[in-house]
Structure 1
């Protein structure tokens, strides 16, 4: 279907969204006139790229269209310099044409890592473009990799895409909008549907189920009932997808503006039980005789409160902080104990949770740095609650800083976000107490350089004073002096020497 985005030709057909799953964050429908203005403005902005490439491919006898995310985001008023195109040209011809287009720019670059999938990439100036040959691909039921066949039409290519809002294109150089599956209407209603039967789409590529949750989180869209039903029925098919691809979708979801929407969808459909089982496990059964918070809802609230504090971390989405918020209480199901007085305890859930977090992140192939950062935050998230009303010694404050290491600012965020009490007086008291702790950290840091705290003698000095060579004894002495430094603060070299000699004599 060709369209010029006129309000008449794109009237909102409400029968397309009979019963979508409604998110907690409900965004108003888009106005079609605004959509029309947004896409026209964006096409004018990227005209230096689309007009030149469109004319170049047309002169060579090939079709070219802007497609997918750039078209969707143009309609949402979002600007990108990373542009995706689809074409009738085969990869070799695409590469030749892109080289022709880019040769006037000395800093340009061509890459073909996606050649097997029909994709050739090019960077020219401020623009990154990827051009993919029309294709039709499907998955073998037991395979993790797609079988790629090149297609011969734009409509056929659009039909194999994940959702209708991503199955729109702008033909070039004429700028006609192709929308064979009603993507503009779905975008206006902020709803996710698949171009064909969702069961067929998810059977071809099960990762699309994760993408449904990710797009809900990124765009604040609802998900059509038929898509939710298919995700629920086919959740176990996600097992054929590699851990790395699942991880990448999960990271994008958690770093999105509305992660609660995506996470709730994963839990409700059973996908979370497959890829992040620790999350649905937080929905502990309530016992009428025992009292404890709803840990699952508490966790989602902590995540949102951590996001609200991200200005302390630079303002950009911070995966480590967000994932630590999501995982901070995963040790509770395994440590829950009922007490006769009607309370429930979760002793050592911080330590157990850190182990579970490390195990899950390893299974999802996260980097060692990410694993250590998140698990450290989970293990330390209760440390502040031993602070009481502010009676920590300077030694305890030093240890808090040392143990947090380079995750101290994230620990501040997580600890503050973990306060979800509805008791305003209690919340205010906790906030004031943590303010005081941060003030003490700042004061001691200024006086003692806590972030780089070291013993008052280094390894070379230790060996000279004790008359020993490298070995375990040096390490033990270094540890002793570090503990002494933590307890007493900075010492003079003379006092540190005397303490070291006394320690050695006792041994």
Structure 2
């Protein structure tokens, strides 16, 4: 079958010309071809395989392009990359691969196109289109990947036990593609992931997290997490999430399954934000419930302090997975710590409580409200409607309080220097006490958030501490 319409981009004509001049066969392979047949637009990268030197082909292509782009060469891997009109194009020579048990990095030798297609992870990624004059646009599909695309199936070209054992990251990729494309993993392949799950230990945390973030960024992340749990990969990555699984019953009282609840929350938030870190906050918002779960005869199941415990667990999880230990982590910690505050507020919306919430959340207040609204997973339509209406009341109150009291990213209206001047002080603990008292008075609504009221309150507080005015 000829598919010249797939190769309308100017770059393919140039690669074809470069291939002819070098007398090497070349093919576009992998994601570009897959996405063409899936009618997924927005081309960001293209993989080219040459039956010969991929590096030489890249350099020849660059020479033929009008802007002579720089070619990045990766000699260790025998690959080269250049950019053309916001598209990254990677060139590699066709190759065979052989693996050792201890590493996912293969020994590589030159091979044919068929050898190169054999080493691909999935049939849908082994599709190739010819860039050669003799059969330009011809589809080469040795594993019937087109049928797998039509049937929405993830399947390995060769024995899945070999494919996954050789490079265990492919297990994560299978689940990621199934999640992103809304495909199903073929039964034998799914069984093989379960069988080879322990092989994941040879994969670096960074590579695992890269796939995990792609799952998290999909339209319905729960599909991926359920597959990770079903295949025994999740306990190796996030055992804390697995600890939330299950329902206990004591004296006829049950609690909800916090694992499945969490996945519902992640799906809910995915409908309202593409921010992967807010999605991480949704995934970890109840992570402290397993270690804080207790049963009381008076009140039933409790999870006292799970937000505080959960926020502490975020650091350990991020460190173990080698996620960024920077403001992204601090944002997730903050969201987890504050995740129940708006819920409590919804039943008693006082100005003071709203001021404190806005003060603590700062610029992240809207993200916090988005998280809390996603946390509504009740199947009772009346409750669902009431909870959302309550949060609308909270959002309105936040807006009113913020406009009136300006407590977001609060800065004390009276400075330390003014306090020292008013009482003829040198740096001392009383200055901190006065500043804290002013902040609390503003948050409690005892005084307005302005300089005059704060200065007068400062004088009263200083005198009550036994200080003398200058």
Name the TM-score, length of structure 2 as normaliser: 0.91
Tell me if structure 2 keeps the 8 A contact 1:284–1:333: no
After superposition, the Cα gap between the structure-2 partners of 1:407 and 1:203, relative to the gap in structure 1 and judged at 3 Å, is same
Residue 43 of structure 1 pairs with residue 3 of structure 2? no
State the alpha-carbon separation in 2 of the partners of residues 215 and 345 from structure 1: 38
Cα-to-partner distance string for 1:34-78 (whole Å, 9 max, x where unaligned) = xxxxx654433x2x1112112212221112111111110000001
Question: 2:468 matched to which residue of 1?
Answer: none
Shift of 1:444: 2.0
State the alpha-carbon separation in 1 of the partners of residues 145 and 412 from structure 2: 64
Question: 1:129 matched to which residue of 2?
Answer: 89
Listed as ranges, the gaps of 5+ residues in structure 1 are: 5-38, 311-316
Higher relative contact order (CA 8 A, sep 6+): 1
Aligned residue among 136, 156, 164 for 1:202: 164
After superposition, the Cα gap between the structure-2 partners of 1:497 and 1:99, relative to the gap in structure 1 and judged at 3 Å, is same
State the alpha-carbon separation in 2 of the partners of residues 415 and 334 from structure 1: 22
Question: 1:155 matched to which residue of 2?
Answer: 114
After superposition, the Cα gap between the structure-2 partners of 1:152 and 1:491, relative to the gap in structure 1 and judged at 3 Å, is closer
Question: 2:302 matched to which residue of 1?
Answer: 345
Shift of 1:95: 4.0
Shift of 1:494: 3.6
Question: 1:387 matched to which residue of 2?
Answer: 345
Alignment map for 1:68-217 (pairs within 5 Å)? 68-79=30-41, 80-102=43-65, 104-105=66-67, 108-112=69-73, 114-143=74-103, 146-173=105-132, 174-217=136-179
Alignment map for 1:279-358 (pairs within 5 Å)? 279-287=241-249, 289-310=252-273, 317-340=274-297, 343-358=300-315
Question: 1:27 matched to which residue of 2?
Answer: none
- Computed over aligned residues only, the root mean square deviation of the Cα atoms, in angstroms, reads 2.2
Tell me if structure 2 keeps the 8 A contact 1:390–1:437: no
Alignment map for 1:454-469 (pairs within 5 Å)? 454-469=411-426
Question: 1:252 matched to which residue of 2?
Answer: 214
State the alpha-carbon separation in 2 of the partners of residues 425 and 261 from structure 1: 28
Question: 2:20 matched to which residue of 1?
Answer: 58
SS in 2 for 1:265: helix
State the alpha-carbon separation in 1 of the partners of residues 106 and 423 from structure 2: 68
Tell me if structure 1 keeps the 8 A contact 2:342–2:369: no
SS in 1 for 2:129: strand
Tell me if structure 2 keeps the 8 A contact 1:398–1:450: yes
Alignment map for 1:233-252 (pairs within 5 Å)? 233-252=195-214
Shift of 1:225: 1.2
After superposition, the Cα gap between the structure-2 partners of 1:447 and 1:177, relative to the gap in structure 1 and judged at 3 Å, is same
Residue 493 of structure 1 pairs with residue 451 of structure 2? yes
Say which is worse superposed, 170-179 or 216-225, in terms of deviation.
170-179
SS in 2 for 1:140: coil
Question: 1:13 matched to which residue of 2?
Answer: none
Question: 1:18 matched to which residue of 2?
Answer: none
Shift of 1:326: 1.5
Cα-to-partner distance string for 1:109-166 (whole Å, 9 max, x where unaligned) = 4323x442122111122432111222334443223x5134142211111111111111
Listed as ranges, the gaps of 5+ residues in structure 2 are: 466-470
Name the TM-score, length of structure 1 as normaliser: 0.85
Residue 373 of structure 1 pairs with residue 373 of structure 2? no
Aligned residue among 399, 402, 405 for 1:442: 399
Alignment length, in residue pairs? Answer: 458
Tell me if structure 1 keeps the 8 A contact 2:311–2:337: yes
Residue 362 of structure 1 pairs with residue 319 of structure 2? yes
Question: 2:237 matched to which residue of 1?
Answer: 275
After superposition, the Cα gap between the structure-2 partners of 1:337 and 1:494, relative to the gap in structure 1 and judged at 3 Å, is same
Say which is worse superposed, 184-193 or 343-352, in terms of deviation.
343-352
State the alpha-carbon separation in 2 of the partners of residues 285 and 436 from structure 1: 33
State the alpha-carbon separation in 1 of the partners of residues 408 and 12 from structure 2: 51
Shift of 1:342: 8.0
Question: 1:419 matched to which residue of 2?
Answer: 376
Cα-to-partner distance string for 1:341-372 (whole Å, 9 max, x where unaligned) = 68322221112222222211121111122211
SS in 2 for 1:282: coil
